[in-house]
Structure 1
């Protein structure tokens, strides 16, 4: 069974909202180390940027950053834990 495309051209605003909601479902208030994850994906929801582009930009801006105030705590949002 083929999965449905997540591209903007193949989805409606409501479907994109649901995609983001499901993807962030395990994050409670959807905030990760000071980043409002809901806001992060607004450009996807409203058809301005594809998910891959948002994720690439986020990775480029935040990859390798270490918050020294939380160095003894696991980083990230807990994805995959």
Structure 2
């Protein structure tokens, strides 16, 4: 699997990674906002995906606490 780190991808590749991951909703301009994550920060090369996902996990309530992850919510 090819690296998805900002340093290893172009802006176009990052946009495709996000679009492929989120499906058609991203192409319509509404998919990433409803996820609560600003994936444009990744596409623009400002934050890695792992940072965005970690921040999102720390900012939302867990719907099913019995299935919660043991995350320390530390930034990378």
1:1-81 equivalent positions in 2, closer than 5 A: 3-25=1-23, 27=25, 29-30=30-31, 35-37=33-35, 40-64=38-62
TM-score of the superposition, structure 1-length normalised?
A: 0.63
The structure that is strand-richer by fraction is 1
The structure that is helix-richer by fraction is 2
- Aligned pairs, how many? 61
Structure 1 residues not aligned, in runs of 5+? 67-81
Aligned partners of 2:36 and 2:56 also within 8 Å: no
- CA positional deviation for 1:36: 3.5
Instruction: Give me the whole-angstrom Cα distance separating, in 2, the residues matched to 1:46 and 1:58.
Output: 18
Higher relative contact order at CA 8 Å, sep ≥6: structure 1 or structure 2?
Answer: 1
TM-score of the superposition, structure 2-length normalised?
A: 0.67
